[in-house]
Structure 1
Amino acid sequence: MRTPHVVVVMGVAGTGKTTIGPLLAARLGVPYAEGDDFHPPANIAKMSAGHPLDDADRWPWLDAIGSWAHGREGLGGVVSGSALKRSYRDRLRAAAPGVVFLHLTGDRHLIEDRMSRRQGHFMPTALLDSQFATLQPLGADEAGVAVDVSGTPAEITARAVRALDTLPDPAPQR
């Protein structure tokens, strides 16, 4: 039996991290953690006011996600988090070296449409351009896969499971 990966579901706002993350965790039989829950209140207030976060805002958030991921190494888990820059993913890997990334990708118009229809989320569609400007797709040397977000959540989740199955088993923890 394969040891489950710790998967960070990443991508710009509106790609479905909060929808796909729990579905993926259920399919893999591992716990799910909502990345937004790791944000300090000041980050939520800043984004709610229409201001993008800067790196100084993100470091404590990334460290909290990394700590959760580290605690799940060898056990598996799924956590959402934008992880838009390589430096953010490097920070997560420093905390949890076996983490892999599921990059949810899609057409900007589809993502904007989905964002405009969601209720009660703190991230306004006005910040989508800043998200795309910040995004650095996974490098060839990064453990992870990209999955298109067109289709239903079930279809996206099935594509994600198939793509993750192509990754090598995580290294055993010492």
Structure 2
Amino acid sequence: MTTQAHKSSRPKVFVIAGTSGTGKTSVATNLLDHYKKDLPNLKYLEGDDLHPEANVKKMSSGHPLQDEDRWDWLKIVAHKSSDVARLSHGISIITCSSLKKKYRDLIRATEPNVDFYFIFLYANQEEIFARLNNRKGHFMKANMMQSQFDDLELPIPHQEKNCAVVNFEGKPLDVITNEVLVYIEKALHNEDFNM
């Protein structure tokens, strides 16, 4: 990958998306490590860290968020990730569930001069529940996961711009990261991104 591949284009934000328990943070940190030589100032944001305190309290007490809880947070996600992209090689990486199409549409509309690429990590519910049950110290509890699966609207191939789905069932982290990298490299070289 050369930094020249994307220098003259619009800022690009790569959203590592999916329900809780899909490994978004692990993949994002692997991506940062992969690009550290060519893009030493590349930044990654954890979307969960941008939630307003009221959202965190609501989730911590075992209540799933509703659409009205998410609107302001999604705008913050769009603004912060775009600002970072403008200051960091023209690209940034953020983790954000982006479960519904209207959430992705809002992110795009909030920063219309930035190209957002949504890469969904996906697996069957049983695998994700097992991962969540082994996770410690996160406000998303396994008993709240059903609401995320109920809300999940995976992008439909070639019907939603700049979206891809990576099924990680039974795959090690390095294989998943490499599959995500294929999509990122396509976007950085202005090739067709969609699945």
Shared fold per TM-score greater than 0.5: yes
Q: Is the 8 A contact 1:33 1:80 kept in 2?
A: yes
C-alpha RMSD of the superposition: 1.8
Aligned equivalent of 2:166, options 141, 144, 147: 147
Confirm or deny that 1:89 pairs with 2:104: yes
Aligned equivalent of 1:136, options 153, 159, 162: 153
Confirm or deny that 1:117 pairs with 2:124: no
Q: Is the 8 A contact 1:101 1:144 kept in 2?
A: yes
Deviation, 1:133, is 0.5
Q: Which residue of 1 aligns with 2:90?
A: 75
What secondary structure is seen at the aligned counterpart in 2 of 1:89?
helix
Deviation, 1:27, is 2.1
Counterpart Cα distance in 2 of 1:85 and 1:15:
16
Matches within 5 A, 1:3-42: 3=6, 5-28=12-35, 29=39, 30-42=42-54
Confirm or deny that 1:54 pairs with 2:74: no
Counterpart Cα distance in 2 of 1:36 and 1:22:
15
Deviation, 1:60, is 1.2
Aligned equivalent of 2:177, options 150, 157, 161: 157
Q: Is the 8 A contact 1:147 1:160 kept in 2?
A: yes
Unaligned runs of 5+ in 1: none
- The number of aligned residues is 170
Q: Counterpart amino acid of 1:102? A: I
TM-score for both structures, normalised by structure 1: 0.90
TM-score for both structures, normalised by structure 2: 0.81
Q: Is the 8 A contact 2:45 2:81 kept in 1?
A: no
Larger gyration radius, structure 1 or structure 2: 2
Deviation, 1:127, is 1.1
Confirm or deny that 1:169 pairs with 2:190: yes
Q: Counterpart amino acid of 2:5? A: R
Question: Which deviates more, 35-44 or 149-158?
Answer: 149-158
Q: Counterpart amino acid of 1:165? A: E
Unaligned runs of 5+ in 2: none
Counterpart Cα distance in 2 of 1:127 and 1:50:
7
What secondary structure is seen at the aligned counterpart in 2 of 1:94?
helix
Deviation, 1:25, is 2.9
What secondary structure is seen at the aligned counterpart in 2 of 1:99?
strand
Identity of aligned residues (%): 34
Q: Is the 8 A contact 2:59 2:140 kept in 1?
A: yes
